[in-house]
A and B are shown apart, each in its own frame.
Chain A
Amino acid sequence: MSDRNFFLSPKASKARLREAENARRNRWDIIKAHSQGQVSRRDLIKMGLFTGAGLMIPISGLSPFARSVFADSNIPTGLPPSPLFGVQAFSTPMPRFDVLPRQPVSVLNPAPTAQANTTQQPVDPALGGGTGPIEGRPPGPIWAHQQFAQLPPVIAIQATMEGAKTNNVYNPGVPSLQNSGINPANPIPFKFHPGLPIQNVLKDWTYNGTIPPKLMMVRYGEPVLFRLRNRLPVNQSQNGGFGIHTISTHEHNGHHGAENDGFTGAFFFPNQFYDYHYPVVLAGRNSINTTATDNRASGPTDAGGLNKIAGDWHETMSTHWFHDHMFSFTAQNVYKGMAGMFNIYSGLDRGAEDINDGVNLRLPSGRASVSGKSWGNLDYDVNLMIAEKAWDANGQLAMDIFEFDGFLGDQMTVNLTFKPFMEVERRKYRFRILNGSVSRFFKIALSDGSPMIQIANDGNLFPHPVVLTQLDEQGIAERYDIVIDFSRYSVGQKVWMVNLAEHQDGKKVDKDLSIAEALSGNSSDPCVGKFLEFRIARNPAQPDISQVPSTMIPNPDLSAIPVARERVFEFNRGAGQTTNDPVTTFFGPWGIKTDNQGGTLAADYGRVSAAPRFGTREIWTLRNGGGGWDHPIHIHFEECQTLARDGSAANVPAWERGRKDVWRLRPGGEVKITLQFRDFGGMFMEHCHNTMHEDNAMLLRWEIDDLGGPFLRPLPTPIPKPQGVTFIPPDDILPTAL
C-alpha cells in the first residue's frame, strides 16, 4: 500500500484528518474567491500563494498536500475522505439515463434561425445591464448553421442548464422491470444515494438541473435542433465555490459545423439560449455515396425500414456524449454535472435486435416486436457514465480547482449514483461505458475474470469484435461499448464491475492491478475495486436473439487519398504564453508545442495553431513530452484512424484499430493518426481531456477556413459578452498553421 495518496485513509489519526480538513477549509476560501472572479491567478502569484508556473505553493494550514506535522515522514498528506453517512455500497439501484423528449421543431419559440437570433432583451444589471441578444451564438454568416437549408432540423430537443432540483419527469425509456425496479413516477431528489444529503442548488449544475444524467437519442438522416437555455445564476459568486455560469456544450464527437461544436470561446450567458444544429450526417456526404443509394448508409425509419442518406457508411457512429466546454472551466462545470450521453442510431446499429433486414447488425438492445419501437430500444442497451466524486463534511459536492496535475474524487458513481446495483437478465447486454471523470483513468474487468466482448471505441463500431477479460485503460471521455453475456450465470448470482487502475494523483495511473489485488481491499486508492454490482435477477421473457457479428464496420479506405501534410503536436508541462488577451488566453502549467517550433504554448483560443485545407487528409503525430503523466488527447470534428503507436503499427492494439477521437498517449508515448477535413468548416479544438490539464492550459484551436462562402482565412475570434458577441482578429497564427 502506498503512502503517497490523494485522499487520506478514513483510518488516519483524528489529528491528521482534522489538520487536512482545516487546510481544505482555508484553501476553500481561496478557491471560492478565484472561482468567483474576485482574485486572479496573477494576484495569487503576487501574494506568494502561487508559483510563477501557476502552482499553488503547499503552505501548511493552507494546502492539504503540505507536509503534515502528524505524518511519519515527509510525505504529503492528502484530502480528508468523503463521509458516507452510513451508506453501504450496492444498496441502491442504478438509474438508467433520463431520455430527453424529442419534439417537433414547431414547438420552439422563437423558431430556430440559420444565423444567431439577435433579438434584444434586457440584460440583468449583475451582467452589466443594457440589452443583449436572446441567443448567445456568435452572430453573422460565419457562425450561421452550415447547410441549414439542405438539412433543416426535424426534431427539437430542449434542455436547461440549472442548479440541482428534484426530478419529477424522469423518463428512463424502459419499463421499471428493466430499470432495477425504479418507479419513474416517484420524484428523484438530487442525491448521490438515497442515504446521502440532498445537494445544494449551487453545488450541482446539470442539464435540466436533475439526475439521472440525460440521454439524447437521435438517428441518421433526422437533423436535430438542440436548444439549451442557460438558467444559471446571473451572479458569478453564486456558484457554490466552483464552476462558472457561462457555458458551451460540445457534442462529442459530432460531425457538423463548428458553430454547433461547443467551441470553447463560443460560450453564452445566463438568460440566453444557444441553438445547436446537429444534422446527424455521415462523414463524406459531399463526396461519397452522394446519391444515397447504399442501404448501409442509412437511418432507421419508424416503420422498420431504412432512410438512405449520403455519405460513407464506414463512418457510421453510435455512442457519443455531450458536455460543457467552457474555456478554462470545463473541469469544474463537467464535474458539477454538465454531462450527458448521445446515442446515434443507424441502419447498421438501429437498436432493435429482431429486425433482420440484412443491414442491421442486431446488437443487444430489445425487440421492436415487443416494444413497438423499430429503433432505439434500450432494454438491453445500457448507458453507463462512470465518474468519481468527492464531497465535504456536509455531503456537498467538493472540488479542488488548484490541483493542476489532476483532480481525483474518492467515491465512485455510476450514472451519478454511489456504487449502485443493476438487475439483469440471463442474456446479452450492451453497455456504452463513458469515462466521465475529471482526471481519473479506469481499467475495467468483471470480478470473476469472465470475458467481455468489446464492440466499439469512442462510438465507432469495430471492424471485428474483440474478446477481452480486462479492458484497456479508459481515459477521460473515451467510450468503450462492450457486450456481457449474463447467461453464463444463474439466477440469484451477482458479479461486479471492478476498477483495476490505481491512482495516487491525477497525473496518470500509478499501477494496473490484478483482479485479486483490486479485490483485496489493500489498495490505498479508494476507487479501486468493485463499483457496480450486477444481480442476475431472472431469465429473459423471450429468447436472446441478439448478435455480435464477426464483421461490423470496416474502416474507411483512405489509401487513395493523398496525405496533404503532416503535423506534430507535443503535450508538455511548463508552457509559456506569448499573448495576453484577457478573454482568450490562459496560462499553464500545461501546454502544447506545435510542429517542433518555438516553445510549448499555453492555451489561447484566439491563436490559430493549424489550418488544414478543406478537402484534404493529413497525418498528425501526438506526442507526450513527459514520462510522469498521461494525456487523453481529443480531436474534435472527424473520427481518425490510428496508424502507429510508439513508431510502429504493430503496437496498435486490436481495440484501437477502428476509428477513434481520444487517444491515451501513455507516459513517454506517441500516437500517429490520420484524419480528413471535409463537409463543414469553422474553428475546432484539440486538447487533453484530463480536463484539469485542458483548463490549465493544454488546448489549441485549429480551423477549416478555406471552404469559401462566408469564411475568412483566418477566422475572426469571438469575444462573447452578455450585450453581444464581438469579433477580434486572431492573436497569433503559428508559422506552420496555414
Chain B
Amino acid sequence: MNTQLNIKTRRRRFSPIVVTLLVGVAAVLVLGNPSVQAQTTTAAGASTVDSSITIATSGTVSDPNGAITVSGSVIIKCRRVIDTTSTTIPPLVLLDFDLSQVKGTTGSGKTLKTYVTGDNHATALRPFQASDTIVVTIPYFDSTKDILSASAFLVTATVNFDISTGKLTSGSLTYGTNIFSSSGVGTFTPAM
C-alpha cells in the first residue's frame, strides 16, 4: 500500500471543493424491483446456475466540468458454479456488470454535455455468499471525444443471492468519485 503522505491530487480538474461536496452525496436509486432471470445447467463436473438482474440506477459524480448526473440501466449477470467432483472446493460466482447503458450529463441547453462509458463491462470472480459488495472503477468520457479522454468514477455494487438456489436476487449500485485517483498515486524526487 502506498504510504506516501504528501500526495498531490493528480488532476487539477478535480477540484478538491467539488470532491468534498460530492463524496457521500453520490446517490443510489434502485428504481422499482429488479427483473430477475435464471437458468440452471449441469455439466460433467460442474453445476452452474445463471441468473441476471437489471436495475435502474442514478447518482452523481464529480468532474472538472461540474457534477455529472449519472443514470441508466445496469445488467448484472451471474453464474454460480459448484464443482461436483469435490466437496472441498467452495462455490463461486462469476459476475458481469454491463454498464454500457449508463450515461451522464452536465449542464443544459447549449452547455449540455453527455458522457458515456463505452462498451463497458466490469467482471469479477468472487466466492459465493449471501451478499457481497464489489467496488470497481469505471471509465467515462465525453461522447464527442475519444476514449483517450476518459476519466473514471467509482461504482460500489451490492449483490444479494438466494443461498439455496444460487440465484442473484437483488442488487444496488452507488456511484461516486474515484477515491483512488489521489490515494493510488505517490511521489518521488526526479533526477535533475
A interface residue numbers (CB < 8 A to B) = 181, 428, 445-451, 453, 465-470, 472-473, 483, 485, 488-496, 507-512, 514-517, 519-521, 529-530, 535, 537-538, 548, 550, 570, 572-574, 623-629, 646, 651, 653-654, 666-669
**Distance A470 CA – B154 CA, assembled complex (angstroms):** 12
Instruction: Give Cα distance in the complex from A446 to B135, angstroms.
Output: 14
The answer to whether A447 and B10 have CB atoms under 8 Å apart is no
Q: Which 5 A-B pairs have the closest CB atoms?
A: A627-B46, A628-B83, A448-B184, A449-B137, A668-B46
Instruction: Indicate whether B15 reaches chain A with its CB closer than 8 angstroms.
Output: no
By a CB distance below 8 angstroms, the chain A residues around B96 are 651, 653
Q: CB distance A449 to B181 under 8 Å?
A: yes
List of B residues within 8 angstroms of A496 by Cβ: 2, 184, 186
Given contacts A512-B125, A626-B85, is CB(A449)–CB(B45) below 8 Å? Answer: no
Interface pair A511/B125, CB less than 8 Å apart: yes
Chain A's nearest CB lies how many Å from the CB of B186? 5
Contact partners of B83 in chain A: CB under 8 A: 626-629, 667-668
Docked complex Cα distance between A574 and B50 (Å)? 26
Provide a sorted-by-A list of 24 A–B residue pairs whose CB atoms are within 8 angstroms.
A445-B137, A448-B178, A449-B180, A465-B147, A466-B119, A466-B147, A467-B147, A492-B188, A492-B189, A494-B186, A496-B186, A512-B125, A514-B134, A515-B180, A520-B1, A538-B190, A623-B43, A628-B89, A646-B50, A651-B96, A654-B119, A666-B125, A667-B81, A669-B79
Q: Judge whether B46 and A515 touch: CB under 8 Å.
A: no
The answer to the question of B113 belonging to the interface, with a C-beta cut-off of 8 Å to chain A, is no
Taking a contact as CB atoms under 8 Å apart, the answer to whether A512 and B154 are in contact is no
Take A447-B2, A668-B79 as given contacts and tell me if A493 and B148 are in contact as well, using a CB distance cutoff of 8 Å: no
Docked-complex contact A573 and B191, CB < 8 angstroms: no
B74 nearest CB across to chain A (Å): 15
Interface residues on B, range: 35 or more
Partner of B10, one of A448, A466, A509, A548: A448
Interface: B38 (CB within 8 A):
no
Q: Which of A514, A629, A646 interacts with B136 by CB under 8 Å? A: A514
Q: Point out the residues of chain B lying under 8 angstroms from A624, CB to CB.
A: 43, 46
Q: What's the Cα separation between A491 and B150 when bound, in Å?
A: 20
10 additional A-B residue pairs with CB within 8 Å, beyond A511-B125, A514-B136 = A451-B147, A451-B151, A466-B147, A496-B184, A512-B126, A515-B135, A570-B44, A572-B44, A667-B94, A667-B125
Min CB distance B36 to A, Å, is 18
Tell me whether A519 and B2 are in contact in the complex, defined as CB-CB below 8 angstroms, given that A447-B184, A493-B185, A627-B83 are known contacts. yes
B150 to A514, Cβ gap below 8 A? no
Q: What is the bound-complex CA distance between A588 and B48, given in angstroms?
A: 25
Instruction: Determine whether the beta carbon of A448 is less than 8 Å from that of B180.
Output: yes
Question: CB distance A467 to B46 under 8 Å?
Answer: no
Within 8 A of A (CB), among B13-47: 43-47
Q: Mark B57-95, 1 if CB is under 8 A from A, else 0.
A: 000000000000000000001010111111001011010
B190 touches A668 (CB 8 A): no
A306 → chain B, closest Cβ, in Å? 26
In the bound complex, how far is the Cα of B44 from the Cα of A623, in angstroms? 10
Known: A494-B186, A625-B46, A626-B83. A469 touches B152 (CB 8 A): yes
Instruction: Report whether B79 and A472 are in contact in the complex, using a CB–CB cutoff of 8 Å.
Output: no
Question: A666 CB to closest chain B CB, in angstroms?
Answer: 6
* A735→B171 CA distance, assembly (Å): 49
Interface core residue of B79, B135, B139, B151 (most chain A CB under 10 Å) = B139
Q: Are A625 and B138 in contact (CB under 8 A)?
A: no
Partner of A573 from the list B85, B122, B178, B186 (CB cut-off 8 Å) is B85
Given contacts A467-B139, A511-B126, A628-B85, A667 and B46 within 8 Å (CB-CB): yes
Question: Which residue in A483, A494, A510 is a CB contact (below 8 Å) of B185?
Answer: A494
Query: Is B45 a contact partner of A489 (Cβ separation < 8 A)?
Result: no
User: Please, which residues of chain A bring their CB within 8 A of the CB of B138?
Assistant: 469
Q: Which residue of A467, A511, A537, A666 contacts B150 across the interface (Cβ within 8 Å)?
A: A467
Q: Which residues of B contact A515 (CB under 8 A)?
A: 135, 137, 180, 184
Measured in the bound complex, the distance between the Cα atoms of B124 and A89 in whole Å is 27
**Once the chains bind, are B186 and A450 in contact (CB under 8 Å)?**
no
- Of all chain A residues, the one with the shortest Cβ separation from B141 is A467
Binding site for A on B (CB under 8 A): 1-2, 8, 10-11, 43-48, 50, 77, 79, 81-86, 89, 91-92, 94, 96, 118-127, 134-139, 141, 146-148, 150-152, 154, 178, 180-191
Q: Which of A446, A473, A623, A625 sits near B184, CB closer than 8 Å?
A: A446
Please state if B8 and A448 are interface contacts (CB–CB under 8 Å).
Answer: no
Decide: A492 and B187 in contact? CB cutoff 8 A: yes
Q: Is the CB of B125 within 8 A of A509?
A: yes
- A500 nearest CB neighbor, chain B only: B124
- Knowing A490-B10, A515-B184, the reply to whether A537 touches B190 (Cβ < 8 A) is yes
Decide if A447 touches B180 in the complex (CB within 8 Å): yes
| B79 touching A449, Cβ below 8 Å | no
Taking CB as reference atom, which chain B residue is nearest A483?
A: B148
Q: Which of A494, A529, A625 contacts B187 (CB 8 A)?
A: A494
Chain B residues within an 8 Å CB radius of A537:
190-191
Which of chain A's residues have a CB closer than 8 A to the CB of B8? 490, 493
How many Å from the CB of A734 to the closest CB on chain B?
18
Whole-angstrom CA separation of A498 from B128 in the bound complex = 24
CA distance A656 to B141 in the complex (A): 22
With both chains docked as a complex, state the minimum distance between the C-beta of B124 and any C-beta of chain A, in angstroms. 4
Find chain B residues with CB under 8 A from A494 CB: 185-188
Chain B nearest Cβ from A410, distance in angstroms: 18
The answer to whether B135 and A516 have CB atoms under 8 Å apart is yes
Q: Do the beta carbons of A485 and B148 come within 8 Å of each other?
A: yes
Indicate if the CB atoms of B127 and A511 lie closer than 8 Å: yes
**Are A625 and B45 in contact (CB-based, < 8 A)?**
yes
C-alpha spacing A470/B136, complex, angstroms: 8
Q: A494-B185, A666-B94 are in contact. Are A627 and B89 (CB under 8 A)?
A: yes
Q: In the complex, what residues of B have CB within 8 A of residue A469's CB? A: 136-139, 152
Taking a contact as CB atoms under 8 Å apart, the answer to whether A451 and B2 are in contact is no
The one of B91, B148, B184, B190 that contacts A548, using a Cβ cutoff of 8 Å: B148
Determine if A627 and B121 form an interchain contact, defined as CB atoms under 8 angstroms apart: no
Are A519 and B139 in touch, CB under 8 angstroms? no
Instruction: Establish whether residues B152 and A627, one from each chain, have CB atoms under 8 Å apart when the complex forms.
Output: no
Residue contact B46 to A626, C-beta cutoff 8 Å: yes
Distance in Å: Cβ of A44 to nearest Cβ of chain B: 23
A181 to B126, CA, bound (A): 41
| Pair A488/B126 contact, Cβ less than 8 Å | no
Docked pose: A736 CA to B36 CA in angstroms: 41
- Are the C-beta atoms of B123 and A653 separated by less than 8 Å? yes
Q: How far is the CB of B86 from chain A (nearest CB, A)?
A: 5
Complex: how many Å from CA A212 to CA B171? 48
Q: A103 vs B45: C-alpha distance in the bound complex, in angstroms?
A: 52
Question: Which chain A residues lie closer than 8 Å to B85 at the CB level?
Answer: 573-574, 626, 628
Query: Which residues of the other chain, B, contact A450 by a CB distance below 8 angstroms?
Result: 137, 151-152, 181
Residue from B77, B134, B147, B152 in contact with A449 in the complex, judged by beta carbons closer than 8 Å: B152
Closest residue of A by beta carbon distance from B122: A470
The CA of A654 and the CA of B139, in the complex, are separated in Å by: 14
Q: What residues on B are CB-neighbors of A488 within 8 Å?
A: 10-11
* C-alpha gap A491/B192 in the complex (Å): 11
**Which residues of the other chain, B, contact A495 by a CB distance below 8 angstroms?**
10, 184-186
Contacts of B122 in A (CB 8 A): 470
Taking the nearest CB of chain B, how far is it from the CB of A365, in angstroms? 16
A653 and B100 CA atoms in complex are apart in Å by 11
